[in-house]
Structure 1
Amino acid sequence: MAGAADRGVCGVCFNHCKYETEGSGFNMFAWEEFKNAGVVPCNERARFNNMIGEKVTIVANQQAYTVKCYKGHRKSAMYGRGWRKFYEDNKLGKSHMVVFFLDQPSPMASILWFQVGNGSEDEQPMEEGDAIEDSDSDNEDGGGSSDDGEGIVRTRGLLLNEREDFQLQGLLPLSDDFIGFAFVHRLTRTNICLGMMKIPKKVAAATLFEKQGVVGISVDGGRFKKISYKTADDGRIVFDSKKWKDFAASRGLKVNTAVLIGFKSSERDDVHVLVILKKLG
């Protein structure tokens, strides 16, 4: 990857993906959401998608980790409980790079990792510290701030009452079926009356949304409704306003209702991500 460290970090895969492939391995930089999902470099996505199935077993420091694989048209990644254990066991952080060799003679993948640099700004993804995310004071349509202690993202300035907070703690941590970050939000007039509902870019990046597509959304895992979405210029996911508004009305969602929103992978070709809402309070 000669010279790649001097180039910008891709806003899709959070790697230096503009270099030419050399040899059988590829590199992935550890970034803020790396513990939830390791996104495959854009220039390696097609090879990755063709090479592996729904799961792959990787080996690092003589330990084996079976991770789930997401293979999309715009973004592919490894995630799940095995991935998080791999991240924690190897104490990965922002100053680390992971080198993957998926075509070794062994039927399983072998992973090497080592430290590079000193965590300078040039090694960080361009999304980190983005002004729209961190300084957005109007969060009615789904801005967010991180709460890494719980592994969730909350609407900036969100306050839960005692009953809502008690119910939230009873739902956490989410099961291994869920991917990325969960999002805690209090529905507003913008969400309910105008039908404008957005998912923060921090959540979108870790949840492996394609640039545009369809989600299957439900309350408490009940009957799903398909809603189309697109990615806004600021990186947030925007649901189709009419379909979201119809969904909210049919499920009894109201202004000021606090919700926990989680995400699951979908096995259906016509649905990219499953979205599960749980009412709080």
Structure 2
Amino acid sequence: MKDFNLGLGQLVVFVMTGRIAKAFVCSFGVGFIDGGGAEVAQQEEEQGGADEEGQVDEEGIDGEIMGEAPIGIIYSMGVSLDLEEEGRLAMMIDIEQGNIASRFVHRFTITNITKKSMKIPNQVCVLLNIGAEGFIGVRLGEGPLSRVASKTAKDGRMVFNKEWGVFVSTYNLQVGSAAVFTFRRSNVAPFDVVCVVDILSI
């Protein structure tokens, strides 16, 4: 409060959707002023709250040791969102009671797009008890469902490969784009689980 000379009636916006909590002081007529995002990051590192380092596996994909936000979103190691991406993510989150979902935030890599291989961390699948092998209905936003095969790799992550490549090509997904994968139980035959991919980057 002393740093930003805060007093009664001033508006402070807390953004809790990213890996690092941020606070912004709203100065009317001027815009938003960063109010401690970097300081929070430093405090988390000092308290040991930062993500552990992952190992690079044989396919050149980081072995994700996930950071988990208070609302249960799991992030790929090293992924950070800009303010616009964080805002889009916040709008997409459905906090309706009883709507059990598992979400994974990721920024597409060359492996995901060019090599057409996508790995989903095991932590994402545990809540929904997704099987070791099978098919998942995957769709982009509100689009139609695509049938994508999934299997569990040796490291415990769920892998999309062959049909994922078709999905990438169909929707022209791009390296560097941030996306959120939302997994939910489904009554839509023949899929027990549906994954909705929403692109956060413009």
Aligned mates of 2:196, 2:63 — CA distance in 1: 16
1:257 aligns with 2:177: yes
Query: Does structure 2 conserve the Cα–Cα contact (< 8 Å) formed by 1:217 and 1:225?
Result: yes
Shift of 1:170: 2.0
The secondary structure found in structure 2 opposite 1:209 is: coil
| Cα pair distance change 1:250/1:183, threshold 3 Å | same
Alignment check: 8 A CA contact 1:225 1:247 kept: yes
Q: Which runs of 5+ in 2 are unaligned?
A: 1-50
Q: Given the superposition, is the C-alpha separation of residues 206 and 181 from structure 1 closer, same or farther in structure 2, using an over 3 Å criterion?
A: same
Change in 2 beyond 3 A, CA 1:250/1:187: same
How far apart are the structure 2 equivalents of 1:232 and 1:209? Answer: 13
Alignment of 1:161-176 (within 5 A): 161-176=82-97
**Could you tell me the TM-score, scaled by structure 1's length?**
0.48
In structure 2, do the counterparts of structure 1 residues 193 and 177 end up closer, same or farther at CA, with 3 Å as the change threshold?
A: farther
The whole-number CA distance in structure 2 between the counterparts of 1:264 and 1:166 is 22
Shift of 1:150: 2.7
Q: 1:249 to 1:278 in 2, by over 3 A?
A: same
Aligned residue identity for 1:196: S
**C-alpha deviation, 1:178, in angstroms:** 4.8
Q: Aligned to 1:243, what secondary structure does the other structure show? A: helix
Query: SS state of the match for residue 169, structure 1?
Result: helix
- Residue pairs, 1:172-251, within 5 angstroms: 172-176=93-97, 178-239=99-160, 241-251=161-171
Q: For the Cα contact (< 8 Å) 2:182–2:196, is it kept in 1? A: yes
How big is the alpha-carbon RMSD for the aligned residues of Structure 1 and Structure 2? 2.3
- How far does the alpha carbon of each residue in 1:208-240 deviate from its partner, in whole angstroms, 9 at most, with x for none? 21111100000113111001111112221111x
Q: TM-score, normalised by structure 2?
A: 0.65
| 1:81-125 residue CA offsets vs partner (Å, 9 max, x unmatched) | xxxxxxxxxxxxxxxxxxxxxxxxxxxxxxxxxxxxxxxxxxxxx
Following superposition of structure 1 onto structure 2, how do residues 262-273 of structure 1 map, counting pairs within 5 Å?
262-273=182-193
Conserved in 2, the CA contact under 8 Å of 1:213 and 1:271?
A: no
Displacement after TM superposition at 1:141 (Å): 6.3
Superposed, 1:14-33 pairs within 5 Å as none
Supply the AA of the counterpart residue of 2:198: K
Aligned residues, how many? Answer: 148
Structure 2 Cα separation of the partners of residues 177 and 194 of structure 1: 37
For 1:277, what is the secondary structure of its paired residue?
strand
Structure 1: unaligned runs, 5 residues or longer: 1-132
